[in-house]
């Protein structure tokens, strides 16, 4: 069950369908707990999404419910994917949108990895 106050997990969200193989993706990494693939609408020369294989709505849900092994694997995968993509020397950005104010569109936890050019200020000014 999701954390109280969070929406229930929708098993038909687009990333759940990618995990089930119903929708293709350009995979860059997979391990027992994590999948990483290129974003369909990249906002930087490199734009990859890292998702846990478990059914977690968001960062809030994942950090409240996921076993420590899954949380560790997810964080490790983020670093490994960035390394594998050759982003470490020049640097990169990791971002996760959560809920309404975060502007989260897909209700399955995902971390964006952006790189390949200078990425500017962290947030747009109001
Ligand atoms: P959010 O706004 O929820 O943080 O980010 C969702 C991301 O998922 C967006 O960057 C969007 O381009 C990406 N996305 C949405 N649908 C698909 C899809 O079917 N395949 C892939 N690879 N990315 C998707």
Where residue 30 sits, what CATH number does that domain have?
3.30.428.10
Does 3 reside within a domain?
A: no
**pLDDT mean over 104-112:** 98
Q: Residue 1 — pLDDT band, cuts 50, 70, 90?
A: low
What is the pTM assigned to this prediction?
A: 0.96
Is 76 within the bounds of a domain? Answer: yes
5 pLDDT tier (thresholds 50, 70, 90): confident
Active site residue 110: yes
Distance 7 CA to ligand 1 centre (A): 19
Reported as a pLDDT band with limits 50, 70 and 90, residue 2 is low
Establish whether residue 14 lines the binding site of ligand 1, counting it when its CB lies within 6 angstroms of any ligand atom.
yes
> Does any ligand 1 atom lie closer than 6 A to the CB of residue 59?
no
97 lines ligand 1 (CB under 6 A): yes
- For residue 82, the model assigns a pLDDT of 98
Q: Is residue 6 part of a domain?
A: no
Structural domain contains residue 106: yes
- The mean pLDDT of 15-26, rounded to a whole number, is 98
Rg of the Cα trace of the chain?
14
Domain with 70 in it: 14-115
How far away, in angstroms, is 28 Cα from ligand 1 center?
15
**Per DSSP, which regions of the chain are E strands?**
27-30, 34-38, 46-52, 92-95, 111-115
From the list 36, 44, 33, the residue with the least C-alpha distance to 66 is 33
Domain count, the chain: 1
The answer to whether 47 and 112 have CB atoms below 8 angstroms apart is yes
Of 21, 51, 31, 30, the C-alpha closest to 39 is 51
């Amino acid at each position: 069950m999701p954390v109280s106050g969070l929406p229930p997990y929708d098993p038909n969200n687009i990333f759940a369908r990618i995990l089930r193989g119903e929708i293709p993706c350009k995979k860059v990494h997979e391990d027992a707990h994590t999948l990483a693939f290129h974003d369909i609408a990249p906002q930087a020369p490199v734009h990859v999404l890292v998702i846990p294989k478990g059914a977690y709505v968001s960062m809030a849900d994942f950090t409240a419910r996921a076993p420590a092994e899954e949380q560790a694997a997810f964080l490790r995968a983020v670093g490994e994917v960035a390394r594998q993509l050759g982003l470490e020397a020049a640097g990169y950005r990791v971002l996760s949108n959560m809920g309404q104010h975060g502007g989260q569109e897909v209700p399955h936890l995902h971390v964006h990895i952006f790189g390949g050019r200078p990425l500017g200020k962290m947030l747009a000014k109001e």
